[in-house]
Amino acid sequence: MTETETWNATDPGVLRLPSGRLVRGRGLRHPLPAGPTPSYAVYLLGKKPPQVPWESHWLAWPDFRLPRSRTEARRVFREAWERAAEERVELACGGGRGRTGTALACLAVLDGVPADQAVEFVRRHYDRHAVETPWQKRYIRRFTP
């Protein structure tokens, strides 16, 4: 893994997982941050996102809710976590906090953070307002690798 293939740890929205993997979370309502673009992105939205010039996956996930398919979500999170070892992986929803924070917390669980500590981990290292609803917190507590 080289620095040019992954994110810079100081870039806006970048979360360093305990393994050293770097993933970027962001809100799609905000401008694309300066610097490198993702090589792979997961868009957590209730409707299909616009096309982007990099590889992406749409995970159907209405705002303030949970993923429509938990089975697909687990598969998508696993792929994002695996790809983050060597690629610039981005997870994004409208505002970059609720769904994105929930997804980042699930990646943290995949990376070894205990599920009951994942929300705190993401709030401390990504955004103090990440994970917005009680059911998102419960989803993370019940998420298993």
The hierarchical CATH code for the domain 15-142 is 3.90.190.10
At 1 the pLDDT is 42
Portion of the chain with pLDDT greater than 70, in percent: 97
- Could you list the mean pLDDT of each consecutive 10-residue stretch along the chain, which spans 145 residues? 74 97 97 94 96 97 96 98 98 98 98 98 98 98 94
At 145 the pLDDT is 86
DSSP string, the chain: --TTTS--TTSTTEEE-TTS-EEEEEETTSPPPSSPPPSEEEEEESSPPPP-SSEEEEEE--TTS--S-HHHHHHHHHHHHHHTTTS-EEEEESSSSHHHHHHHHHHHHHTT--GGGHHHHHHHHT-TT---SHHHHHHHHH---
| In the chain, domain spans | 15-142
At 91 the pLDDT is 98
At 4 the pLDDT is 55
At 47 the pLDDT is 96
Q: Phi, psi at residue 118, to the nearest 5°?
A: -70, -40
Q: Which two tokens stand for residue 58?
A: 């749409």
At 3 the pLDDT is 44
